[in-house]
Amino acid sequence: MKTFLTLILVALFCGSAYAQENYQFQHYGVEHGLSQSSISAIYQDSRGFLWVGTNKGLNKFNGHSFEVFMPALDTNTVALAHQSVYDVIEDQNGMIWAATRNGVSKYNPMLGTFTNFKKTGNCEGCLAGQLTKKLIEVPPYIYVGSSAGLSRIHSQTGEVKGWWYTDGSDGIPSIYSIRDFELLDTGEFMMATDDGLAYFNPEKETFRTISAKDGLPDAGNGIESIFRDSSGTYWLAMSSSGVVQLLGDPLQPTFRQLPQQEPDGIPSQTVYEIVEYPTGTLLFGSHEGIVAYQPKTDTYRYIRSITGNNLSLSNNEIHNLYIDNENRLWVAGNFGLDVYDPYVNQFQILGYSADPTKGLPSNTITALHEDNTGAIWIGNTETGVTVVQQKNGKETFHHINAGDGPKNLVNPVVFEISEDNDGAIYIVTGNGINKIVWPDRTNFNYTISSIPIGSVEENKLPTPYVNSIHEDAQHNKWFATHGKGIIKQESNGKMSQFRYELRDPQYISGDYVNHIAMDASGNLWVSNAGSGFSHLNVVKNDTAFRKFKAKTPFNRVRSYNITLNGDRLFANTASGSYYFPKKEQLLTQNEAEVILFNEKNGLSDNSVLQVIPVSDSTYWASTGNGLSLINVNTKKATSYKYIAGAKNVEFSRGSGLITKDGMVYFGSLQGVLRFKPQEFKKNTAVPKVHFSNFKIWNEPVPIGVTNNGETKIKNHIDFLKEITLRPSDKVFSITLNAINFTLPMETRYAYRLDGFEEQWTYTKDPVITRSNLDPGSYQLLAKAANNDGVWSDPISLTIEVLPPWYRTWWAHVLFALLIAGSIYLLLKLRLQQERKVELARAQERDIFRKRSSRDFHDEAGTKITRIALITELARIENSENKELQEHLNQIDENVQDLNSGMRDFIWTLDPTKDNAYDTLNRYIEFAGKFCEYANIQFKSEPISEELKTKELNMAERRHLLMILKEATNNCVKHGHPTLIDFNVTHKPGKLTLKLKDNGTGFKTEAAKSGNGLRNMRERAEALGGALKIDSKTNGGTTLVLTLETTRLGN
């Protein structure tokens, strides 16, 4: 971009007189958001922002809007030290420093905070002077020039040291005000002061001065600024001596003062600022405008404010000049901010000037023509015609006005200007046509006559209202009239008329004719107001204007004019421009190839007022809303709505031309727009994009530490790579801050939120708003394009949207635990309910068992007792009957057995005995009696009362007793032991019963098929236990029953 702009600058600052005299500026003032018009400092930082210091605050400008920093109204807030700002710089760490009337302010863009250095005086840690004027960085220090001396501030620690002159100060000269710095190659400072030059050695901390006695011209009135050009030469802008050049060693220089007169010098004694363009031209900001000085040629040019020209400098008192990163020239004083943009300046406006020798008498331009000498004729609606000629490398202006004299036009409103083959100029006005005969254009000896008005039969024009004139190769003149059709005037003066005839649909479609054009084949092409287009073959002596043979889409649209370029034709209408690559198809075929150019394919407006051919493929078009560049090969158009002076030019219908040297002219309501298409360069400077203005629920998000549930960011969003949104941050917005100083109103934006959308959103609105994003990680990509559609590289920002607490991983774990717990509780409640039911049933069974055992005991006991008594009475009464006694004994034995079995059954029914303790004691009681009867010793350890808590149901008690009884019975019956030992071992969850005898034993292999052992094992399995029998012949038998007590009971 800089290379391209440099080429433009070479043309503008080193080119023709036309270029030198047309510097166009855009203006920014308080109406655009600038805090005040009085400007003291301009600076562009590394991020592209332009900082403007005024007497009412510090302004940060991005091309679109100003952000203003002011002192705080309350003492608790740290803000700008003072509203008057005299200088602005950026240090190597990106901090912005401002010199103010009340010390120095340091602004941190990351945090948006200020640090102020206000302490002044001849003291330690104090600035040398409260009113600070100039800043320069020599890392790690910021040197400060103030009203009373020199100071420096450590940019990191904030340590301050000042050199304040007082009477008797050792080595510190009487420096009342330091206005500017320059760092010399030696490391010393050259300083501009009220009394001349001063030098400071930072290592030795020594000063010395150069004043008028050392040859410095008029040093007593002070030096405004110092500038070092690209060749290493130093220049001084003097308060009352113009410009002084330093020659030789800058530490011991000699001086050359530039002349102080025009045209070969500086017209002003006061020069405030000096800058250098890449062309090597030095620009001096003075009290009388800008002086452009070329040291190589020792030549001067002058750029000044022109009264009535709002594209010139706003004022001639220039205090500040600044060249930004794209070689734009920023100019300031007490009038606001002006900017000269080389790209925008490719389009020049020649407009009104109060001085008739320097411009036009009116800005309302309706007609343009280049005559055979190269002079440009410009018609307006207020005074008449201006002829612009080139003389001695400068433009001259000659005005032909309307009036009553012989050299005046009949009417000031000019519609068209044309020229016949003899060089006569025809001026079509609002009240007739003037013919100007001007054989020698080097003088002003010309005559003006009027075309007579009358009837066609009298060989006169039937109306004074003519829109267009054209002369063919046979010297016939064709007049397009308003309401009288087309009038033909032959070379002998004879006139004929072509009018609309309703009865013949092939004739022209109306008597109101806007424009006529003739091609090389002799066809006359006609634009009829509101009725489309028609044609006439002059060579074939056609007598009627006929409609096109081909079907056309514009017969009922408002037509303006026709542009011809070889075989190509543009029909320009209020609905767009219809391009026909082969215009003959309109006359010979039913269908003609056509391309419609309108807003859909890039045209700046549908209403096309004029099209100018530049080549076979490219055309410039003036429209109802700016310029457009049409490319018929790509079928696309590029819009240029805001051009000269970054303003929207309102063009006039049919007012345009391209000169022999390739200059394009368009008439407008703002003057004549002109440019050279072959030298036109596209804007390749892309906007610098930053994120800004982060809002949640339309409230700005503060910078700070997040607390109390409020979302904050630790730095300005432009310095962040990632932001985090809480679940409650449903709606947020981010503004794209695109720094663009060239036609900023044409900036376009594009953004895409990866993770949410796949396509880019293209818009003119820089605000991005999103709402109700699902939790997750997103990446926001954004870019911007300039007026020529050149896009910047995308910038990115990661956006982390936190889930609500109920969608976090720990909440999911908690929910899973709650669900599992709920299921567990439900199952437990169900189990408890079932157990309650079962307990109720068990209790019911227990009651039934108790009642049954009691009733059975009472009933059966009574019966058995009666049997026993009857048996005893029978024995007594029949004591001598031995056979009966024998039977009675058997009955008695069976009754006793029945009684024993009944007691066992009743014991089993008793629910109070449903535990291991009572069951085992029951067995011990049985075994003891049984062994005593068999004369066998039975040994057993006392049963632990802890087994009372080990519940056994009725079936388990019966199985356990039957296993032990069967085992005891087998021991006695088959083993013939003398000792049986029973042992119970109880451990948590396990109960082991061991029954051992010293009998004869048996072979376990041979006894496996016995019913007793099989029954015992089946009962053990029913108990969920393990039964182990170990027996040896003549070695006794051991039975071990192991039970898992957790599986027993109800």
User: Which tokens sit at 555?
Assistant: 């017969």
Burial class (CB in 10 A: 0-12, 13-18, 19+), 542: middle
CA–CA distance, 882 with 382 (Å, rounded to integer): 172
For residue range 553-566, what is the model confidence (pLDDT) as tens digits?
A: 877 778 899 999 99
User: Which tokens sit at 821?
Assistant: 């717990």
**What is the reported pLDDT for 536?**
83
For residue range 772-788, what is the model confidence (pLDDT) as tens digits?
A: 999 999 999 999 999 99
Query: What are the two backbone dihedrals, phi and then psi, of residue 756, each rounded to the nearest 5 degrees?
Result: -125, -35
Query: What are the two backbone dihedrals, phi and then psi, of residue 643, each rounded to the nearest 5 degrees?
Result: -125, -100
Distance of CA 694 to the CA centre of its chain: 10
Sheet of 206-210: strand order equals 178-183, 189-193, 196-201, 206-210
The model's confidence at residue 14, banded by pLDDT at 50, 70 and 90, is very low
| Residue 683 in this model has a pLDDT that exceeds 60 | yes
| Residue 1009 in this model has a pLDDT that exceeds 70 | no
| Residue 612 in this model has a pLDDT that exceeds 70 | yes
User: Which tokens sit at 541?
Assistant: 């002596």
The model's confidence at residue 17, banded by pLDDT at 50, 70 and 90, is very low
The SS3 call for residue 778 is strand
Residue 850: how many CB atoms within 10 A of its CB? 14
- Helix residue ranges, H only, 934-998: 954-970
Burial class (CB in 10 A: 0-12, 13-18, 19+), 970: buried
The answer to which of 164-168, 272-276, 330-334, 488-492 has the lowest mean pLDDT is 164-168
Is cis: bond before 553, omega within 30 of 0?
no
Closest CA to 798 of 778, 774, 769, 770: 778
Is cis: bond before 259, omega within 30 of 0?
no
For residue range 89-122, what is the model confidence (pLDDT) as tens digits?
A: 999 999 999 999 999 999 999 999 999 999 998 8
**What is the reported pLDDT for 562?**
94
459 with 507: CB under 8 angstroms?
Answer: no
209: enclosing H helix or E strand: strand 206-210
| Residue 688 in this model has a pLDDT that exceeds 80 | yes
| Residue 503 in this model has a pLDDT that exceeds 70 | no
| Residue 854 in this model has a pLDDT that exceeds 90 | no
3-state secondary structure 791-823: ECCCEEEEEEECCCHHHCHHHHHHHHHHHHHHH
Query: What are the two backbone dihedrals, phi and then psi, of residue 845, each rounded to the nearest 5 degrees?
Result: -65, -40
Closest CA to 773 of 814, 727, 738: 727
**What is the reported pLDDT for 534?**
85
The pLDDT of 237-266, averaged and rounded, is 93
The pLDDT of 349-353, averaged and rounded, is 89
Distance of CA 134 to the CA centre of its chain: 36
Single-letter residue type at 250: P
Single-letter residue type at 474: Q
**What is the reported pLDDT for 504?**
58
User: Which tokens sit at 574?
Assistant: 């209020």
CA–CA distance, 526 with 518 (Å, rounded to integer): 9
For residue range 799-819, what is the model confidence (pLDDT) as tens digits?
A: 999 999 888 888 889 999 999
The pLDDT of 582-610, averaged and rounded, is 94
For residue range 464-487, what is the model confidence (pLDDT) as tens digits?
A: 999 999 998 888 999 999 989 899
For residue range 877-929, what is the model confidence (pLDDT) as tens digits?
A: 887 787 888 887 888 777 777 776 676 777 776 777 778 888 888 888 888 88
Mean pLDDT, the chain, rounded, equals 89
The pLDDT of 706-714, averaged and rounded, is 74
Burial class (CB in 10 A: 0-12, 13-18, 19+), 441: middle
Is cis: bond before 263, omega within 30 of 0?
yes
The pLDDT of 541-568, averaged and rounded, is 85
Burial code (b: 16+ CB inside 10 Å, e: under 16) for 911-925 equals: bebbbbbbbbbbbbe
| Residue 251 in this model has a pLDDT that exceeds 90 | yes
Radius of gyration of the chain from its Cα atoms, rounded to whole angstroms: 57
**What is the reported pLDDT for 7?**
47
Burial class (CB in 10 A: 0-12, 13-18, 19+), 953: middle
CA–CA distance, 210 with 370 (Å, rounded to integer): 60
Sheet of 113-117: strand order equals 85-90, 96-100, 103-108, 113-117
Single-letter residue type at 126: C
924 with 864: CB under 8 angstroms?
Answer: no
Single-letter residue type at 576: G
213: enclosing H helix or E strand: none
**What is the reported pLDDT for 166?**
67
For residue range 153-203, what is the model confidence (pLDDT) as tens digits?
A: 999 999 999 998 766 566 666 666 899 999 999 999 999 998 889 999 999
The SS3 call for residue 220 is helix
What one-character DSSP code corresponds to residue 468?
Answer: E
- Helix residue ranges, H only, 390-518: none
Query: What are the two backbone dihedrals, phi and then psi, of residue 180, each rounded to the nearest 5 degrees?
Result: -160, 160
CA–CA distance, 91 with 659 (Å, rounded to integer): 52
For residue range 622-673, what is the model confidence (pLDDT) as tens digits?
A: 999 999 999 999 999 999 988 766 577 889 998 999 999 999 999 999 999 9
CA–CA distance, 874 with 350 (Å, rounded to integer): 161
C-alpha distance from residue 468 to each of 299, 418, 562 (Å): 47, 8, 12
**What is the reported pLDDT for 12?**
47
For residue range 402-457, what is the model confidence (pLDDT) as tens digits?
A: 999 889 999 999 999 999 999 999 999 999 999 999 999 888 899 999 999 999 99
Cβ neighbors of 863 (< 8 A, separation 6 or more) are none
Closest CA to 995 of 951, 1037, 943, 958: 1037
The number of helix segments (H) and strand segments (E) in the chain equals: 9, 69
**What is the reported pLDDT for 301?**
93
The pLDDT of 527-556, averaged and rounded, is 80
| Residue 863 in this model has a pLDDT that exceeds 60 | yes
| Residue 939 in this model has a pLDDT that exceeds 80 | yes
User: Which tokens sit at 203?
Assistant: 């290592």
CA angle 828, 831, 836 (to 5 degrees): 125
Distance of CA 396 to the CA centre of its chain: 51
| Residue 741 in this model has a pLDDT that exceeds 70 | yes
| Residue 5 in this model has a pLDDT that exceeds 50 | no
Tokens 């003519």 found at: 466
**What is the reported pLDDT for 16?**
41
CA–CA distance, 198 with 187 (Å, rounded to integer): 14
Q: Quick one: CA torsion of 802, 804, 810, 812, rounded to 10 degrees?
A: -120
What one-character DSSP code corresponds to residue 358?
Answer: S
Tokens 């750029």 found at: 303
**What is the reported pLDDT for 762?**
97
Closest CA to 478 of 526, 427, 424: 526
For residue range 940-969, what is the model confidence (pLDDT) as tens digits?
A: 988 888 888 888 887 888 888 888 888 888
358 with 306: CB under 8 angstroms?
Answer: yes
| Residue 678 in this model has a pLDDT that exceeds 70 | yes
| Residue 310 in this model has a pLDDT that exceeds 90 | no
Single-letter residue type at 57: G
Handedness of CA 169, 170, 173, 176 (dihedral sign): negative
Q: Can you state the percent helix, strand and coil of the chain, rounding each to 5?
A: 20, 40, 40
Q: Where are the beta strands (DSSP E) in 891-1025?
A: 937-940, 979-987, 990-997
The model's confidence at residue 307, banded by pLDDT at 50, 70 and 90, is confident
46 with 35: CB under 8 angstroms?
Answer: no
